[in-house]
Amino acid sequence: MKRKVDKKSVLELGKERVVLFDGAMGTMLFSYGLQFNEPPELWNLLQPEIVYKIHHRYAWTGADVIQTNTFGANGVKLKKSGYEKKMEEINLAAISIAREACPVKKYVAGNIGPTGEFLEPVGKAELKVLKKAFKEQARILVSGGVDLISIETMYDLREAIAAVEGVREVASVPLFVCMTFEKKPKGYFTIMGDEVKSSFRKLKEAGADVVGANCTLGSQEMIDLVSIMRKCTDLPIIAQPNAGKPKIIKGKTVYLQTPTLFAEDITEMVKSGANYVGGCCGTTPGFTKVINEKMNKLRIKKGPGV
């Protein structure tokens, strides 16, 4: 059931102060026993109490925005694991869990990730098929009452635009879009060669309200990227880096950066122009807690407009 509450748009809040998104969902699910060949989104149906616990921990350690466990819950991606017929059930369950865990004055973001398919010349995926998948997932997320939609980890601008266009055909909610960039000798690019400035211009034209980057980069590298992103667009900026570079220890992927160092880097990103911040792979509610403490100190120091 949707809860009625009088609160401003997350876009309005972002004009007043830095807004904190949550951290990694996958990292947390793996810590609770998720297997690598298991779709994380299936836990909305099989282990809802654990998904609830993760959302709840992020909300109560300071996150303003909780993202639903629906990153891979589009029809194209779910078809690979045989769960495409449960797409609506999975997405609606995710919203219900997030709503229950999230205090009413905070925000639930419908999370949308890439399909995992590649367009030509690398693959054979068709844009119209991808756009249809994103449109259908967005329709479900909006019908479930999300406050905003967060499109993340897009490595092909064409797919990102298809996602934005698909969302905009069914929804007018605030729309955040994060590309995932790698640091190259000549700057920051996606694996498909998309650079920052033209990507952000085209995403804005397609209907994005906030643009930025997540994943791939650790927080140190993201500081420089935020400075570049701020110069490339007049839209608000979101930054969600990983907790450093991953290492394989005893067969497990481990992120070794500490919450304190991560939060210090996030503070630098805010000073460089980030309006929305959060964490990606390797981050936990412990990271959110320290970031929130840093942001509160920054707001007190510089005033409520920070």
Cα separation of 131 and 112, whole Å?
A: 12
Q: Bridge partners of 239?
A: 213, 277
Q: Please tell me whether the overall predicted TM-score, pTM, comes out greater than 0.85 for this model.
A: yes
β pairing state of 182-184 and 175-179: unpaired
Choose among 246, 236, 233, 289: nearest CA to 266.
Answer: 289
Cα separation of 236 and 6, whole Å?
A: 23
Cα separation of 165 and 160, whole Å?
A: 9
Cα separation of 261 and 243, whole Å?
A: 9
Task: For the chain, give the mean pLDDT.
Answer: 94
Question: Is a pLDDT exceeding 80 seen at residue 5?
Answer: no
β pairing state of 182-184 and 187-189: antiparallel
pLDDT digits (tens, 9 = 90+) for 113-137: 999 999 999 999 999 999 999 999 9
Asked whether 284 and 23 are in contact (CB, 8 A), the reply is yes
In this structure, of 18-27, 86-95, 237-246, the range with the lowest mean pLDDT score is 237-246
Backbone angles phi, psi at 22, to 5 degrees: -75, -170
Question: What structural domains does the chain harbor?
Answer: 10-301 (3.20.20.330)
Question: What type of residue is 198?
Answer: S
pLDDT digits (tens, 9 = 90+) for 136-154: 999 999 999 999 999 999 9
pLDDT digits (tens, 9 = 90+) for 217-260: 999 999 999 999 999 999 999 999 999 887 888 777 888 899 99
Cα separation of 89 and 123, whole Å?
A: 29
Q: Bridge partners of 253?
A: 248
